[in-house]
Structures are given as C-alpha cells and as structure tokens.
Amino acid sequence: MNPKITDWRDKRIWLVGASTGIGAALARSLAGQGARLALSARSADKLAALGCPNALLLPCDVTDNTSLTAAHQTLLAGWGGIDLVIYLAGDYEPMRADAFDLARAEQIIEVNFAGAMRVTASVLPHLQTGSGIAFVASVAGYRGLPNALCYGPGKAALSHFAECLYLDLEARGIGVWAINPGFVQTRLTAKNEFAMPALQSPEQAAEAILAGFSTGGFEIHFPKRFSRLLKLLAILPYRWYFPLIRRFTGE
Ligand SMILES: NC(=O)c1ccc[n+]([C@@H]2O[C@H](COP(=O)([O-])OP(=O)(O)OC[C@H]3O[C@@H](n4cnc5c(N)ncnc54)[C@H](OP(=O)(O)O)[C@@H]3O)[C@@H](O)[C@H]2O)c1
C-alpha cells in the first residue's frame, strides 16, 4: 500500500504540531534517528526548547493561511523539497449537547480539520513519488462518542479526507497515512475528568507511530488492545453500538 519507512536517516520531515505532546516526542525520536526536521506550531519558544539540533524552526498558525504558506516557503527555500509531512496540530474540548459552544467548536474544527486541508493544499504540488503526508486523527473519529461533539466529527472528517487523498495519490507513488491514537497523556487529555483506558505516554505513542510507518499500511492505530476494541464496536449495527457505548462510558 504505502511505502515502508524503516530508515529515517536524512529524511526531510515537516512536523506540524511539534511543540508539545505527541509531536514533541516524535520530533525527539526522529532527531535521534538522523532525520532532517522542520518543526511547526504557534509557540516558537517551545519549538526551540525541544533541542533538536539543526532543525528548521518554522512557527506558524494553521488557522492562518498566510502564516502557514510563509512557513512552507521558508522550508522549500531551505530544503528544496520534502519527503514526509506529519500533521499533528490539534485542539480538544470535551463537549456535550447540553453545553454546546459553537464558537469553540468552530475553533477546534479549524485546527483539527481545516488546518490539515490548508497544509495539504500547500504541500501537494511539491510532493514527489516516494514522498507522503500523514494525518494524526483519532480513534474518537471512528464513530460517535459522548463528550466528543466537536472533536469526534473533526477527526472523522480528517480520516475521510486521508482516505480520499490515498485513493487519488496511490497511483503516483505518494504515501498517505491516517494515524489513530487511543488515549495519550498530554495537555489535551488532561481536560478529561474520566478514567482513560489504555493510557499511553507521548513517547510510547511516538514509538507506535514509527513502528506503524515500517509496515506500509494506510492506518496506524494504537494501542492495539484499545483501538481493536473500538474497531469492533464501529462495525456493529446502531441498535447494539449505542447501548454498548453507554454501558462502557456510563453516559
Ligand atoms: N492525546 C491524545 O490522547 C490523543 C489521542 C488521539 C489523537 N490525538 C491527536 O494527536 C495530536 C497531538 O495532540 P497531543 O495530544 O500531543 O496534544 P498537544 O500536546 O496539545 O499538541 C498539539 C500540537 O498542536 C499545536 N497546535 C495547536 N493549535 C495550533 C495552531 N492553530 N497552529 C499550529 N499548531 C497548533 C500545538 O502547538 P502550539 O500550541 O504551540 O501551537 C501542539 O504542538 C492532535 O491532533 C490530537 O488531536 C491525541
């Protein structure tokens, strides 16, 4: 399906959403394996504090096309091309119908979905055979969940976008990946007030992502004991799915 990536030495990789959490752990791991990195997020200070030697630091805001395009132009001027883009930028707020906040929901969709489309539009003309783009979505995008009124739909849209792109780009030898993590301990999940099953560290998530790239599959999902259970639930008819989700979540 996708190219298998096992050797990261000298690969030119743009991580969008690299300042904290999973992106920061991925940046450190890839730097340790000899990749050439371009690192983006809004917080220039946090990108610098990652301590990835020789990384191009390209602070930008994915909700602002001018800022994003400027970062991409700087990258092209520095490198001339790109081997892999990994879109990790994300925002999250637990949200239910009894406290639906439209402005906040729109902000979250802007980062989690529209930002990914902006990055794609910018890099697509420059992706060559053998290169690719990966999107960090979430197992929360598989199907509807309580408390996920704006996060889940944005991630479902992102996965769908990745599937369409994959179909369009496969014949040109350009890789497209959907990365669906379960719960990872970061500032985003610190907002959750419930016990998170199979919670992983950002370093474990980074390791699972790099292991996933070595398989050549379209989807990288982890931890398997949790993501496989959600996959199973996702193929059930609604009359079974909804009661089971209520039972598991207590909502
Ligand atoms: N943690 C989990 O359990 C989990 C599970 C499934 C999927 N995910 C996804 O994994 C990705 C990484 O999340 P994380 O948990 O590692 O959270 P995080 O630590 O908050 O990382 C989010 C990253 O996105 C960047 N970002 C946010 N808004 C941005 C904007 N407007 N422009 C540019 N960059 C922006 C942040 O940097 P700045 O604030 O500096 O801009 C940060 O680098 C997200 O897409 C998230 O939805 C997380």
Q: Give the model confidence (pLDDT) of 96-144 as tens digits.
A: 999 999 999 999 999 999 999 999 999 999 999 999 999 999 999 999 9
* Position 208 confidence tier, pLDDT thresholds 50, 70, 90: very high
Residue 21 pLDDT more than 90? Answer: yes
End-to-end, the C-alpha distance of the chain in Å comes to 39
Ligand 1 site residues (CB inside 6 A) read 17-23, 41-43, 46, 61-63, 88-92, 111, 136, 138, 181, 183-184, 186-189
How confident is the model at residue 209, as a pLDDT? 98
Q: Which atom of ligand 1 is nearest to the CA of 179?
A: 7
| Cα–Cα distance measured from residue 165 to residue 219, given in angstroms and rounded to the nearest whole number | 13
Under 8 Å between Cβ of 92 and 140: no
Mean pLDDT of 11-25: 98
* Position 251 confidence tier, pLDDT thresholds 50, 70, 90: confident
**Mutation probe of ligand 1 site: the residue of 16, 22, 66 with most atoms within 8 A of C-beta:** 22
Under 8 Å between Cβ of 89 and 67: no
**Ligand 1: distance of its center to the CA of 171 in Å?**
31
pLDDT digits (tens, 9 = 90+) for 60-94: 999 999 999 999 999 999 999 999 999 999 999 99
Under 8 Å between Cβ of 105 and 56: no
**Ligand 1: distance of its center to the CA of 103 in Å?**
19
Residue 250 pLDDT more than 90? Answer: no
* Position 1 confidence tier, pLDDT thresholds 50, 70, 90: confident
Say if residue 158 is exposed, middle or buried (CB neighbours under 10 Å; 0-12, 13-18, 19+): buried
Nearest CA to ligand 1 atom 34: 41
**Ligand 1: distance of its center to the CA of 53 in Å?**
22
Q: What is the CA radius of gyration of the chain?
A: 18
pLDDT digits (tens, 9 = 90+) for 144-202: 999 999 999 999 999 999 999 999 999 999 999 999 999 999 999 999 999 999 999 99
Q: Which atom of ligand 1 is nearest to the CA of 140?
A: 6
Under 8 Å between Cβ of 83 and 11: yes
| Cα–Cα distance measured from residue 100 to residue 104, given in angstroms and rounded to the nearest whole number | 9
| Cα–Cα distance measured from residue 11 to residue 26, given in angstroms and rounded to the nearest whole number | 14
Q: Which atom of ligand 1 is nearest to the CA of 42?
A: 41
Q: What is the DSSP string of 51-63?
A: --TTPEE----TT
Quick count: other Cβ atoms within 10 Å of Cβ 240? 10
Residue 53 pLDDT more than 90? Answer: no
**Ligand 1: distance of its center to the CA of 33 in Å?**
23
